[in-house]
Structure 1
């Protein structure tokens, strides 16, 4: 397996003071870097992005950076210095590429922690580049999903923004618990459902449903994370003779759909072949087009 690389970012936010020279440094990814009192460790109080790396390039780079800034604002974190993050993530990817011996696909995960709870120090960031698992079976054969109640209504982003619906935080315990529940039920993934009966997203992915000549995804306003991979698919859809819609989707529409996918930066487009044990139509041709598009991207 190719060696992962780590870049620690000492000055990840705009105007942050501290340290001399470059605002980031390469470190050993196997060596300890954070104190046990860092809020990322003790509270999950921070944000992250994960982007695919293809032949040394970070795909959807600017959109991931903008989403990092969006998450920071929603958590009342200091504004990330996107220029520093851009340079740091590229440095991590370049170092990984030198060690990866021509590996076509990889990923870079970059984070921003609020800082150390005990020391009261400022925010700290890092960028970790490495290989991705082999997702070819999920892309080609499809996945079985279960529908799980998220316990939140679609009014939450407006009525209770402190619940952070639609924010990419480091607090992923609930998402991981949902995936374990899916495995207990004989499935590989989850589609969350709101208390008012609307489909939302997967724990680490965006839902796309094909209804006739339209590709449909839930509206970000109801508390789902805007998907960069889904955006790329929607941008290409007119060339495939398909319309795109951001709107509410219910379970009955998913079960009757002409196709459905969970999309993410590293898995790309995985067709949903079963929902709660019920078989779903799989659009093999469109799945192939989606993944050909996504693997051929250069930005």
Structure 2
């Protein structure tokens, strides 16, 4: 299927020219976004995604988007693309100066674009380590911004090595996240995910897994600060631990290859994947 786009109050074709060349999201990456899975014409966990969109906008210094307007855009693109598997919302600073500074607040005209299109979810993932790091002290740490060049470079390296995701440390050598996913380590009979203080994104799938696994009696928790060193991935290669990714399209996806070597998916990781898929289909806006 093709991508359906909503912008400026109406639907557009993928070839339509929508953004001005001076949109701050284009010139300096001054924007935020959300990606949701779509099941049966409905965006999964939309309320949580819109809440995070507002948090990211506030953290970046943008006005909070009008939730009613965003929901209208979502309804329009999903109605036009009933078989879509993915929803993407992009919210930028709108037309602005060519430099990094913004117009005064009363002169800002933010841009909202909604897209619906296809998505393919793989049950398992293949990852590699890369030499670049996340800066947990960055001004935009934990915000889902459109400044994604670091992720593009790291993911290209993963694809070059036959993987579908790259996993990064932060500046102090702690396991952080993937380019578009959170990470979960299975060892010693529990699932442990890096804390938000590591600089990782507060993923919606991560958030729901912590909630749902806890309710189901599956042992899952956030790591204490400093607990998950990047070298924990050596234990995954040695078979003493297992790795899983979480993300809005992946859901919960056990890792079956690390650094171009096959590894096994852990039993708790597989149970978490089954639990998440069942709960997601049971409640589309938890």
Structure 2 length as normaliser, TM-score? 0.84
Question: What does residue 163 of structure 2 align with?
Answer: 187
* Residue 127 (structure 1) aligned with residue 109 (structure 2): no
Q: Is the 8 A contact 2:36 2:86 kept in 1?
A: yes
The reply to whether residue 46 of structure 1 matches residue 25 of structure 2 is no
Look up the SS of the partner of 1:201 in the other structure: strand
Q: Secondary structure at the match of 1:85?
A: helix
Alignment of 1:5-44 (within 5 A): 5-9=4-8, 24-44=9-29
**Matching of residue 264 in structure 1 with residue 247 in structure 2:** yes
Among 141, 163, 172, the residue aligned to 1:196 = 172
Paired position in structure 2 for 1:243: 219
Structure 1 pair 152–48 and aligned structure 2 pair: CA distance change class (3 A) = closer
| Superposed CA offset, 1:38-60 (max 9, x none) | 12122211111011111121111
Does the Cα contact within 8 Å between 1:150 and 1:195 map onto a contact in 2?
no
Matched, 1:106 2:85: yes
5+ residue gaps, structure 2, are none
CA deviation profile, 1:86-112 (whole Å, cap 9, x unmatched) = 222122212211xxxxx3x51111111
Q: For residues 263 and 124 of structure 1, do their structure 2 counterparts lie closer, same or farther at Cα, with a shift above 3 Å needed? A: same
CA contact (8 A) 1:268 1:294 kept: no
Find the aligned partners of 1:260 and 1:218 in 2 and give their Cα distance. Answer: 12
Unaligned 5+ runs, structure 1: 10-23, 98-102
**Residues in 2 aligned to 1:195 and 1:118: alpha-carbon distance in whole angstroms:** 32
Runs of 4+ in 1 over 4 A off after TM superposition: 118-121
Distance 1:258 1:240 in 2: 22
Report what 1:215 is aligned to: 191
Change (3 A) 1:295 1:147: farther
- TM-superposed deviation, 1:74: 1.1
**CA 1:253 to 1:125, structure 2 compared with 1: closer, same or farther past 3 Å?**
same
Judge conservation of contact 1:182–1:188 (CA < 8 Å) in 2.
Answer: yes
Q: How does 1:145-164 map to 2 (within 5 A)?
A: 145-152=127-134, 154=136, 156=137, 161-162=138-139, 164=140
> Given the alignment of the two structures, is residue 283 of structure 1 paired with residue 266 of structure 2, yes or no?
yes
Helix, strand or coil at the partner of 2:36: strand
2:80 matches 1:95:
yes
TM-score of the two chains, using structure 1 as the length reference: 0.81
CA distance in 1, matches of 2:66, 2:81: 23
CA offsets per residue over residues 189-224 of structure 1, 9 Å max, x none?
A: 111101211111111111122223322111112211
For these two proteins, the number of residue pairs brought into alignment is 267
- Alpha-carbon distance between aligned partners in 2 of 1:223 and 1:240, rounded to the nearest angstrom: 28
| Alpha-carbon distance between aligned partners in 1 of 2:11 and 2:199, rounded to the nearest angstrom | 36
